[in-house]
Amino acid sequence: MSNGLTIADKTFASRLFIGSSGYPNQQVMLDAIAASGAEVVTVAIRRINIQGGGENVIELLSDRYHLLPNTAGCYTARDAVLTAQLAREAIGTDWIKLEVIGDEETLFPDVEHLLTAADELVKDGFIVLPYCNDDPITCRKLADIGCAAVMPLGAPIGSGMGLRNPYNIEIIRDQVSIPVIVDAGIGTASDAAIALELGCDGILLNTAIAKALDPVKMATAMGRGVEAGRLAFEAGRIPRKLYAEASSPQAGIVRA
């Protein structure tokens, strides 16, 4: 089994982080999360009821998983910071998945507001995991600010397109010393495996599981894909070659 993933002061056996929204119902969500083997579950603070009046996602998950609240739905640094502070008060955690979206059509991050919010939250003692573009410069700046990890997108949120620019992801992995977790765009288990084979430290996904025909089976597949990709990275792949090379030794072959 691969070594665990350490972020800040916590080590996780699973390198798969999973979202909690968009499932057909809460039971399917619980079954899928369990099947995935994930230990970290994201929850959207702006989209859940934290005032009581019925069992909410936080109550369902907090005893079994490490909750990672996110600032989904925020479009300014100010809104993201306020949402993170609300999450800290409601859940009692300093961990935050920071999202500051630029527009509703692409859901790409707004880098200017993202950097501003990350800087303020780090100074306020948060463990910040920012969702960002697959841009090595932005990731370096986030690392320099003091973020605990960077979470570059593989493709647009919910697109299922896989890694559209694996070369940028490789550069990011090479240039930052903090964990790199691919967030957004993963569509199936092979996408997850490829990301881990490139040296990424983990995957965060939601839609690919929640909207699958069988979320529980897809969650199982994603968990195994992440494990396979990490093991392959640690094992070290053979070099790519243009021509064939016999796998059996040639010495000692009887010649006609």
- Catalytic option among 97, 123, 141, 211: 97
Predicted confidence band of residue 144 (pLDDT cuts 50, 70, 90): very high
Query: What is the secondary structure of 122-139 as a DSSP string?
Result: HHTT-EEEEEE-S-HHHH
Asked which of 3-12, 130-139, 185-194, 241-250 is least confident by mean pLDDT, the reply is 241-250
DSSP state of 69: E
Query: What is the dotted CATH code of the domain comprising 5-235?
Result: 3.20.20.70
Provide the percentage of residues in the chain whose pLDDT is more than 70: 92
Domain layout of the chain by residue ranges? 5-235
Q: Is 94 helix (H, G, I), strand (E, B) or coil?
A: coil
Question: Over the stretch 97-133, which tens digit does the pLDDT of each residue have?
Answer: 999 999 888 889 999 999 999 999 999 999 999 999 9
**pLDDT over threshold 70, residue 143:** yes
Question: What mean pLDDT comes out for the span 231-238?
Answer: 93
Is 97 annotated in the active site?
yes
Indicate the pTM of the whole model: 0.89
Higher per-residue confidence, 135 vs 59: 135
Question: What mean pLDDT comes out for the span 169-192?
Answer: 95
pLDDT for position 59: 81
Beta strands in the chain (DSSP E): 5-7, 10-12, 16-19, 40-44, 66-70, 95-98, 127-132, 151-152, 181-183, 202-205
Strand 5-7 relative to strand 10-12: parallel, antiparallel, unpaired? antiparallel
DSSP state of 177: S
Nearest to 72 by CA among 101, 49, 106, 50: 101
Predicted confidence band of residue 49 (pLDDT cuts 50, 70, 90): low
Query: What are the b/e assignments for 32-71, b being 16+ CB within 10 Å?
Result: bbebbbbbbbbbbbbeeebeeeeebbbebbbeebbbbbbb
Question: Over the stretch 193-234, which tens digit does the pLDDT of each residue have?
Answer: 999 999 999 999 999 999 999 999 999 999 999 999 999 999
Distance of alpha carbon 106 from alpha carbon 118, whole angstroms: 21
